[in-house]
Structure formats: structure tokens, C-alpha cells
Structure 1
Amino acid sequence: MDGKKALYYGAIALAILIGISVVLSVISAIIGLVGTVISGIVSLAVLAGIVYVAYKAGSWLLGGDDAGSLDSIGSGSSSTSLDAGASRQDRLRQQYVEGQISEAEFERRIGEELETEEVDEIDRELERER
């Protein structure tokens, strides 16, 4: 084999090695990018889980009714009994939906709330007439 052929084959081998190196670098970069995206998604999912657990724990510690308990704490006597009745009914509906109370218990408690609400409404009307 003469020197020109050896040089030719050497150049081809070098070109193939450079091509393989470029392809492997691109594949490595793609795998790194995919790994970064997956890592970001997992981190966001874990963060969302932590925020959800903190929200539920705070809700549980504050009494279970997020909006109702904050409204009743902040508003004091300015909230009407209609708002309180609606809040109690919403709380009962939420307990029923979450399975904390049975259907019979839900119906019994809602009935009591409606009776209490009617009595309160009659008392308000009598008070207005005076």
C-alpha cells in the first residue's frame, strides 16, 4: 500500500470518528435536556404536593371551613345570620360530599338548619315591625 492510500484511509477514518463524536454529543445533549425537563416536572409536582399538604393542614387546624372560618373571624358581628346559615349549609354539603357524614345525617342536619333559618327570619320580621 502506498502512502497516498494510507493517507486517504486515515482521512476517512478521522471523518467517521468526528461524525460519530458529533452524533454522540447531540444525543448526549438531548438526553441531558430531557433529564432536565423531567427533573423540573418532578420538582414542580413535589412542590405542588407540599403546598397542597400545607393548605389542607392549615385548613384542618383552622377548623375545616376555609372561607367561612376566615369570614367569621374577620367580620365579627357584621355578618348576618343568613350568611352564617348559608355557611353552615355549605359546610354540611362539603362534609357529605367528602363522606364525613351519611346521607341520613346530612338530611337531618340540613332540616335543622332550615328550621333554624326560618325561625331567625320570622324573628327578624317581627323585629322590623316593632
Structure 2
Amino acid sequence: MTFFNEILKNQILNVSFTSWFIAQALKVVITLLTKKKIDLYRFVGSGGMPSSHSSIVMGLSTSVGLKAGWTSTSYAISLVFALIVMYDAAGVRRAVGKQAIILNKILEDKHKSKHIQEKRLKELVGHTPVEVFAGAILGILVANLMI
């Protein structure tokens, strides 16, 4: 069996990437429902509902727990990793997004008076706690359905 065939049979990887894929697809659907427009960039973009970061790491962590056991070292490592990623998504990355909004506003004001061309900073970077929680629940559900 080739390396790639073995990778495709890895249930934990399949859960993780399926969780990410569903979260990203949901962002496109939610954008369609709330803004009445198809924005395919939402499929690859960060930020928004639900958090695909949370979904992928909780899919990973839950599937490791289901396969290796809730008391295993592998589960402990994956859970700590998931908690760090989710904290970062709702904390540091969200703060970066808020700073980008302020900096973009400063650049807008500057443009009005001086015609300087600056590229806008990406504002949708992090997640609200609700988006992180929704992504985590999605990852847990996908893992329980697939393992």
C-alpha cells in the first residue's frame, strides 16, 4: 500500500479535514443567507461563523479520544493543542482584527486628505467566543459521527 493510500485511510485525519471542510462550507452558506450574496472567498478565508480552526482541532482531539482513549497521552496532547488554538482564535487573532479595523479607518481618513494608496488590512481574522464554541461543537459532532 502506498503512503498516500494509507494517509487516506487515517480516520483521525479524515475527521479533522471533514470538520474543517464543513465549517468552511457553512461560512459560504451563512454569508449567502445573511448578506444575500455568494462569497466563495469565505470558503478559504479565516474568521466568521463557525470557527474552522476550532472545528478542525476539536475534530482531531475528539477522534483521538475516541480511538486512543480519554486517559491516553495522545488525547491529553491533542486537547491541550486544541485549547491553545481556540484561545488564540478568540483572543490574539480577534485583537488583530480589531486593530486592523482601526488602522483601516485611520488610512481612510488619511486618504481623504492626501490621496495616498495603501492596501487595506484584513479585518476578519479572529473569532468571537460564540464562533469558537460553534466550531468546537461541529468538530465534536463530526468526530462522533465518523469514528
TM over 0.5: no
Structure with bigger helix share is: 1
Calculate the TM-score normalised by the size of structure 1.
Answer: 0.28
Greater RCO between the two (CA within 8 Å, min separation 6)? Answer: 2
Higher Cα radius of gyration: 1
Calculate the TM-score normalised by the size of structure 2.
Answer: 0.26
